[in-house]
Structure 1
Amino acid sequence: MTQPLWKSLATGAALPAAILALVLLMVVPVPALLLDIGFITNIMISLAVLMVALSAAKPLDFSAFPTVLLLATLFRLALNVASTRVVLVDGHQGAAAAGHVIEAFGAFLIGGDYVVGLFVFAVLMIINLVVITKGAGRVSEVSARFTLDALPGKQMAIDADLNAGLLTPDEAKARRQEVATEADFYGSMDGASKFVKGDAVAGLLILFVNIIGGLILGVISHDLSLGEAARTYITLAIGDALVAQIPALLLSIAAAAIVTRVASPFDLSGQIGSQFGQWRAWAPVAAILGLLGLIPAMPQSVVLPAAAIAGGICWFLRRRELAAQTAPPKIVASPEPHEIAWEDVCETAPVSLELGYALVGLVDEMKRAPLMARITAVRRQLSRELGFVLPPVKVSDDLALDGNRYRIRIGGVMVGDGQVWPNELLALAAGDTLEPIPGRACKDPSFGLDALWIAAERQVDAIANGYTVVDPATVIATHLNQLLTRSAADLFGLDEAQALVGTLKSGYPQLAQGLTPQPYPLATIAALCRSLLSERVPLRDFRALASAMISAGRPDMPIPELVEAVRRQLSGLIVQTIVPAQMPLPAVTIDPELEALLNQSVRAAPDATWPIEPDLARNIVAAIGEAVEPLLLAARGFAVIVSPLCRPALARLLRTQFTEVAVLSFLEIPDAKAVEIIATVGGRQEEPALPHPDQTEKDQ
C-alpha cells in the first residue's frame, strides 16, 4: 500500500530541512534556552549512536554509521558556533548567560575552577584525539584496504558456491550485494574517521577562540578586570568545550567499536561475555590476586576481596559447565518415518559432479578451489559458444565412490566417469616422444588417449620428452566440457527458450512479437533449438534463427521439416562453425548409388527414426569412419555432404559414433563457399561390403 503524497513529501523533505536548520544555527543568533535543548539533544543522539554500535552483531548492521557520524558532527559544530556567539556577546552577564547546560558543566564537572577545567579538557582531548580517534582511523584505513583487496576473492567464492549448487541465484545475488556494501562501508569509514579527528581539533581551536576573545571583550568592551574576565569567560569556554567534547568522545568510542567489530551471532556484550565465560581463564586471575594480597605492603582490604570475586566467578562458571555436561540431552522432535519431503526424492540440479573422498581437496576454498574456477570457466566459455546460459554444476562428495573416482550426471543420468590422482599430473603422449617416463598407465577420460599419471616433480622431464602435462582439475574440467557440449540439447528447455525470447524482446520487440506466441508456441521454439544443438549448431545469433523461423517455416509444419528449413536459412552460420570464412569447406561425399539407396530407404519409411536397414547402417558407419579417421586425428574441420532427403537420417546415424562430424545437405552450402572434396564413401571399392541389390547379379 503506497503512502499518501503529503506523507511521502514530508518524509523526503525531513533530511534536507534538518541540514538547512544546521546551517541556520551557525548563522542566526539563538537564545540560551534553544542552546540548552540543542546540547541535550546532542548528548541523546550520541548515546543512541553508541548503543546501536555496541548492539550490532556485525559492522554492516549499522551501515548508515558514516552518514550518521557526519550529521552528528555537523550538529555539534553548529552548536559550538552558536554557543561561541552567545558566550562572547553575553558572557559578561554571568555563568548563566550561555544557558544552564554550559553553567552546569562548568560548575559541576570542574567545580568552578577554570584551571582544573583546562586540565580536565586537556585529558579528554588526549584520550579522544591521540588514543581513540587515531586508533580507529588506523583500523579503518587497514580494514578498507584489506576489504578491497579481498573483494575479487570473495566474488569468486560466491561464483564457486553458485556453481556447486550451494547457493541459489537469489542467494548469490544477495551475497554479492553484501560484499559490495561491505567494501563501500569500510571505504566510507576510512573517510569518516577524518571527521572525528577534525572534530576534536576543531573543539580545541574553538576553546582557544572563546578564551582569547572573552578576555579581550571582557577587558576592553565591558570594563572587567583581567581576573574577573578570566574567571567568567574561561569558565564559560571550558563548560562549552566539555559539553561538546563528551558527545564527541561517545561518537569516537562508537566509531572505534564499529571498525574493530568482528562478525558474530552475538552483539558486542554477548560476544565478550561468551569469550570471557571460561572458568580456566579466571582461575589464574584469582590465584595471582591472592598472592598479591599476601604481600604486606598491598592493601589487603581491596586485593583480597577482588581475589575472592575472581574465585567466585571461576567457581560459578565451572559449576555451570559441569551442569551442562551432565544435563540429559534434549529430545528434538523428528519427522515421522512415513513423512517424505519432495526434496528427498527430487534431483533439481541438471548437472552434477560427484567426487570421491580423495578429490574433495580440489574444491576446497582454502586451497583456492582450482576445480571450481575451471568449472566456472567451462560454463562461461560454453555458454558463449552455444548461445544460452548453461545451468550451474552441483559438486558434491560421494562416499560410495572410490577415493580417486569422479562421476558426471546430466539430467540424473550418468554420462561419464573417470579416475584422477589429486597429487599427480596426467602426461599425454600427443605425438612421438623422446623417451618414456615412469608413471601409472591409463586412458585419458575425455578422448581415450594413452596417458600416464606421473609425480609432480617429473613435470619438467615429461614436457622435455614431448608429453603434454595437465593437472587433475583440468582433466575433470575437460571431461565435463566434452560431456556438456555433447549433451547441450538435453540442457535446453522451456526456461532457456523463454530467456532467449525475452532477450530478443529487449532488442527486437517486433521480431519477438512476430515469433511467439503466434505463430510458434514456446514448446516448438524449444524443440527446434534442441534439434539444432544436437547437431552442434549454436544459438548465438537467435535473431537470425527467429527470422529464419518466420520466413522459412509454417505454423503447421512438423518439427523435422521446420528444422531442415531453418538450417537452410542458417547455412552461412553452420558452415562457419566448421571452417573459417576464408577457407574452403573440406567435404566427404557419398557415392551416387549409395546415396540413391539411402534416399530409397527414407522414402520407404519417412516417419521412422532409423529408416536405414541395420546391416547397411553398420557398413556405412564403418566406411565413413575409415574415410574420416585421418581428418579426426588431425583435428581438421570437415562435413559429410549428402542429399536433403537423407541428411537427417544419416546425421542421426553418425551421431551415435562420431559426435563431432557435421552432416550437411548440398542445399546448406552457401553459393559463394568453395568446397574441397577430400573423400567419397561408397563406389567400387566399398561394393563388396554393401548389400546392394545389383551386387548378386554382378558376382554371378
Structure 2
Amino acid sequence: MKARDLSVLLGVILIIIMLIVPLPGWLLSILILCNISLALIVILVSMNTQEALQFSVFPTLLLLLTLFRLGLNVSTTRSILSEADAGGVVDTFGSFVIGGNPLVGFVVFVILVIIQFLVITKGSERVSEVAARFTLDAMPGKQMSIDADLNAGLISEQQAKERREKIEKEADFHGSMDGASKFVKGDAIAGIIIVLINIIFGLIIGMVQMDMSFQEAINTFMRLTVGDGLVSQIPALLISTATGIVVTRTAGSGNLGTDVTGQLLQYPKLLFIASGTVFLLGLTPINFFLTTILSALLALSGYLLLKQAEDVAEPSEEETDETESDVMKAPENVVQLINMDPIEFEFGYSLIPIADVNQGGDLLDRIVMIRRQLAIELGIVIPVVRIRDNIQLQPNEYRLKIKGEEVASGELLLDHYLAMAPDMDDDDLEGIETTEPAFGLPAKWISEEWKDEAELSGYTVVDPPSVVSTHLTEVIKRHAHMLLGREETKQLIEHLKESYPILVEEVTPEPLSVGDIQKVLAKLLKEKVAIRNLPIIFETLADFAKLTNDTDLLAEYVRQALSNQITKQYTEDGQSLKVVTLSAKAEKAIADSIQQTEHGSFLSMVPEQQQQLLEHMKEEVEKLTLQEETAILLCSPAVRMYVKQLIERFFPHVVVLSYNELEPDVQVQSVGVVNIA
C-alpha cells in the first residue's frame, strides 16, 4: 500500500482513538498545530483552483477534517475538566487573547464565533444548497446543448463524452457539497456548546473538586476554554471560508488571485475616480495626510495599469499579413481541405430559422432523435450530421450529401404546411403543387389559413421541420450501407466483444477480416435488413465462414438466420404475406445462367430472357402499386441473390425474399407470377 493511502487510513484511526483514549498535553499540542496547518492548506488550495471540480474530494475531506476537529475538542475538554490543562498551545492562545481580563477575552471569542456561524457558515450553506439545485435543474439543458454541438460538428464524440461526464461530476459534487456544508454548520454549533460546557462545568469542578476559589477557577478555566475555542474555531473559520470559496467559484482562466486582480483592476480609469474621491475626503476632519497618501497610491496604480495596457501593442498589418500567409502555407491547412464529413446537410439562407435555436428552430434536436431512432432500427451508429448554410443554394433549397456526394435535395416553404392526400385527382384545395420529398407522393404547400380545412378534408398536414426530418431519416436509411465502413465495423465488433468475447474470437481476425465482416453487414443494410442482432449474425458467420469466404453467400446465410426478424418486418400481423413468385421455368433459367469462377459467382443470362423477365416483373409491380401493396418477390434460396442483382437497377424498391427467410407459420398468398417464354 502506498504511503499516502496508509497515512489517510492511520489518520482516520487516530481520530477514533482521540474520541476514546485520553491524550497527553504535548500530543494534543502537536495535533492542534496539525489541524491549523491542514486548514491553512485547504484554504490555499481552494483559492488556487480554477473550477470546483479540481477540488472534487473537498466534500469528503470536509467530513474528515470536521471529525478530526471534534475529536480534538473532546480530547481537550477531557483534559481541561480532569487536569485543568490542555497543553501549551491552548494555554498560550488563551493567555494571549484574554490578556489579564477574562471577560474581554470571552467577548472577543464570542464575536469570532458569531462571525463564523452567522456570516460565513450560514452563507456557505445557502450557496451550496442553491448551487446544487441550479446545477440539477440545468442538467437537461446542458445535455441538449452538447447534443446540438455534436450534431453541428462543433465537437467530436470523445469531446461530447467528456463534457457529459463533467456535467455528471458537477451534479454529484454540488449535491455532496450541499450535504457537506451541514457538517460545517453542525461543527460551529458543537463548538459553542463545548465552550459553555467547559466554562460551567469547569467552574463547578474547579471549586468543588480542586478547592479553587471562584476567581482562580474563572481565570483558569476561562483561559483554557477561550484557548481551546480559538485553536478550534480558527481552523473552523478557515475551512468555512474555503467552503464558501469553492461553492461560489465559477470556472475561470486562472486561480482566485489572478481572477480577482484581473477583473477588479480591468478598468484603470476608475482608479483615478477613486483617488479623487479619497482626496476630497481629506478636506473633511478626516486625517488629510493619510487620505493624500492613499489617493496618490490609487492614482499611481491607475497610471501604471494604463501604461501596461498601452505597451501591449497590437501586431502591425505587415506582421498580421505575414502570419496569415504562413498559416495558409502550412501543410496542415492543405490536409484539412481534403477532410470529408460522412453526412452533410446544407440549406439556403431562408431556411436558417429551422436550425437556429435562437429563432425557435429545433432541427438539431430532431437530428439527435433521428440518430437514436436509426441506431435502434438499423443497429449502427449514424455519424454526426454536419449542418451548414450555403449561399450558393436557392433560398428555400436544401440538400443532403453522404461522403461528399449529393444524394437528396428538396425545397421548403417555412410559412406553409405540406398537405398530402391519397387521391389528388379531384382536389380543390388552394396551394402550390409539389412532391413530398421522402416518398415521392403528390402534395401541396398550403398557407396556415387552409390548414384546418385540409385536416378536416382528410389530408395529412405536416410542418416544414417534420418534412425535412422525415426526408433525412429515409435518405439515411437508404444509404446506411455507405456509412458503414471498416472503422465503424471495428467499433461494432469491439462493442460485441465486451459481451461475447469467445464468439468474436471465433470469427475474426480468422477466418474473416474486418473488411469481410463489413461487406456482409453492408449487404444486409443495403436491402434494409437491420444488423442490430449482432450475436445471431456472428453465430452464423462462425458456422459458415469455415466453409466459404464468399461474402455474398455468407450474407445469404445470415439472412436465413434472421428469418424471424425479416418475417416481422414485412408482415403486418405476422401471419399472412402477399407476394409475387417466380415460375419454375424462370427459376431454372436463372439457375442455369449462374457462372462459377475462382473470384465468385455471377449471373450471365441470355439478353432475350432477361428482357422478358424484366417486362413481366414490371407488370406485376404496377399491379401491386395500384393495390397499395409492398412489392415483394419470393423465390428459392439458390437464386435469390442473383434475382436481386438482376432487378435492382430497374426496380430498386422491390423486396426479394427466399422461402428460407420466412417463418414456417406464415401464410403466403401469391398475387402474381413472373414467367418467361
TM range (shorter): 0.7 to 0.9
Moved more, 165-174 or 241-250: 165-174
Q: Give how far 1:384 is off.
A: 1.8
* Residue 630 (structure 1) aligned with residue 621 (structure 2): no
What pairs up with 1:137-176 in 2 under 5 angstroms? 137-176=125-164
Partner of 2:22: 29
Alpha-carbon contact 1:610-1:649 (below 8 Å) kept:
no
Q: Give how far 1:426 is off.
A: 3.4
Q: Give how far 1:253 is off.
A: 0.8
Alpha-carbon contact 2:590-2:603 (below 8 Å) kept:
no
Partner of 2:267: 278
* Residue 14 (structure 1) aligned with residue 14 (structure 2): no
What pairs up with 1:593-608 in 2 under 5 angstroms? 607-608=602-603
* Residue 49 (structure 1) aligned with residue 38 (structure 2): no
What TM-score comes out, normalization by structure 1 length?
0.85
Q: Give how far 1:98 is off.
A: 2.9
Moved more, 429-438 or 123-132: 429-438
> Partners of 1:327 and 1:50 in 2: how far apart?
41
Partner of 1:377: 369
* Residue 492 (structure 1) aligned with residue 484 (structure 2): yes
Partner of 2:384: 392
> Partners of 1:489 and 1:264 in 2: how far apart?
45
**Taking structure 1 as reference, are residues 31 and 671 closer, same or farther at Cα in structure 2, changes over 3 Å only?**
closer
Alpha-carbon contact 2:521-2:531 (below 8 Å) kept:
yes
Alpha-carbon contact 1:428-1:450 (below 8 Å) kept:
no
Q: Give how far 1:440 is off.
A: 5.4
What pairs up with 1:441-452 in 2 under 5 angstroms? 441-452=433-444
Q: Give how far 1:202 is off.
A: 1.1
* Residue 248 (structure 1) aligned with residue 239 (structure 2): no
* Residue 428 (structure 1) aligned with residue 423 (structure 2): no
Partner of 2:648: 655
Residue by residue over 1:387-416, the C-alpha shift from the partner in whole angstroms, topping out at 9 and shown as x without a partner, is 333333333444544454333222332212
**Structure 1: runs of 5 or more not aligned:** 1-7, 92-96, 684-691, 693-700
**Taking structure 1 as reference, are residues 572 and 609 closer, same or farther at Cα in structure 2, changes over 3 Å only?**
farther
* Residue 84 (structure 1) aligned with residue 44 (structure 2): no
> Partners of 2:154 and 2:126 in 1: how far apart?
37
Letter in 2 for 1:589: T
What pairs up with 1:543-554 in 2 under 5 angstroms? 543-551=535-543
Q: Give how far 1:502 is off.
A: 4.5
Q: Give how far 1:675 is off.
A: 1.1
> Partners of 2:61 and 2:175 in 1: how far apart?
15
Moved more, 456-465 or 247-256: 456-465
What TM-score comes out, normalization by structure 2 length?
0.88
Letter in 2 for 1:251: I
Partner of 2:306: 318
What pairs up with 1:206-285 in 2 under 5 angstroms? 206-276=194-264, 277-285=266-274
* Residue 107 (structure 1) aligned with residue 95 (structure 2): yes
> Partners of 1:318 and 1:347 in 2: how far apart?
46
Q: Give how far 1:506 is off.
A: 4.8
* 2:374 aligned counterpart, secondary structure: helix
Alpha-carbon contact 1:210-1:237 (below 8 Å) kept:
yes
Letter in 1 for 2:380: F
* 2:257 aligned counterpart, secondary structure: helix
Letter in 2 for 1:429: M
Partner of 2:113: 125
* 2:547 aligned counterpart, secondary structure: coil
Alpha-carbon contact 1:598-1:612 (below 8 Å) kept:
no
Letter in 1 for 2:236: A
* 2:665 aligned counterpart, secondary structure: coil
Residue by residue over 1:14-56, the C-alpha shift from the partner in whole angstroms, topping out at 9 and shown as x without a partner, is 2221111112123222222222222222211111111111111
Q: Give how far 1:113 is off.
A: 1.5
Alpha-carbon contact 2:417-2:446 (below 8 Å) kept:
yes
**Taking structure 1 as reference, are residues 449 and 338 closer, same or farther at Cα in structure 2, changes over 3 Å only?**
same
What pairs up with 1:505-544 in 2 under 5 angstroms? 505-508=497-500, 511-544=503-536
Residue by residue over 1:109-141, the C-alpha shift from the partner in whole angstroms, topping out at 9 and shown as x without a partner, is 342322112221221122111111111111100
Partner of 1:411: 403
> Partners of 2:30 and 2:595 in 1: how far apart?
98
Q: Give how far 1:441 is off.
A: 4.8
Q: Give how far 1:541 is off.
A: 2.8
Moved more, 130-139 or 407-416: 407-416
What pairs up with 1:610-629 in 2 under 5 angstroms? 619-620=615-616, 622-629=618-625
Residue by residue over 1:236-255, the C-alpha shift from the partner in whole angstroms, topping out at 9 and shown as x without a partner, is 21121112111111111110
Q: Give how far 1:160 is off.
A: 3.4
The number of equivalent residue pairs is 667
> Partners of 2:507 and 2:164 in 1: how far apart?
36
What pairs up with 1:50-69 in 2 under 5 angstroms? 50-69=43-62
Letter in 2 for 1:339: P
Partner of 1:4: none
> Partners of 2:419 and 2:605 in 1: how far apart?
38
Alpha-carbon contact 1:440-1:452 (below 8 Å) kept:
yes
Letter in 2 for 1:192: A
* Residue 191 (structure 1) aligned with residue 184 (structure 2): no
Alpha-carbon contact 1:357-1:403 (below 8 Å) kept:
yes
Q: Give how far 1:264 is off.
A: 0.9
The percentage of aligned residue pairs carrying the same residue is 36
Residue by residue over 1:392-448, the C-alpha shift from the partner in whole angstroms, topping out at 9 and shown as x without a partner, is 333344454445433322233221223335x53532223469986666554332223
Letter in 2 for 1:630: L
Q: Give how far 1:386 is off.
A: 1.8
Residue by residue over 1:448-494, the C-alpha shift from the partner in whole angstroms, topping out at 9 and shown as x without a partner, is 33445556687556544544343443333222211121112222233
* Residue 678 (structure 1) aligned with residue 671 (structure 2): yes
> Partners of 1:112 and 1:617 in 2: how far apart?
116
* 2:126 aligned counterpart, secondary structure: helix
Residue by residue over 1:634-662, the C-alpha shift from the partner in whole angstroms, topping out at 9 and shown as x without a partner, is 4x445112455653344235434554421
Letter in 1 for 2:369: A
Alpha-carbon contact 1:426-1:451 (below 8 Å) kept:
no
RMSD of equivalent CA atoms:
3.4
> Partners of 1:612 and 1:161 in 2: how far apart?
54
Partner of 1:697: none
> Partners of 2:527 and 2:582 in 1: how far apart?
19
**Taking structure 1 as reference, are residues 113 and 610 closer, same or farther at Cα in structure 2, changes over 3 Å only?**
farther
> Partners of 1:438 and 1:298 in 2: how far apart?
85
Alpha-carbon contact 1:623-1:682 (below 8 Å) kept:
no
* 2:329 aligned counterpart, secondary structure: coil
Residue by residue over 1:578-637, the C-alpha shift from the partner in whole angstroms, topping out at 9 and shown as x without a partner, is 114533111123566666666666579963589756855764564344223224xx4x44
* 2:344 aligned counterpart, secondary structure: strand
Q: Give how far 1:356 is off.
A: 4.2
**Taking structure 1 as reference, are residues 580 and 615 closer, same or farther at Cα in structure 2, changes over 3 Å only?**
closer
Moved more, 312-321 or 326-335: 326-335
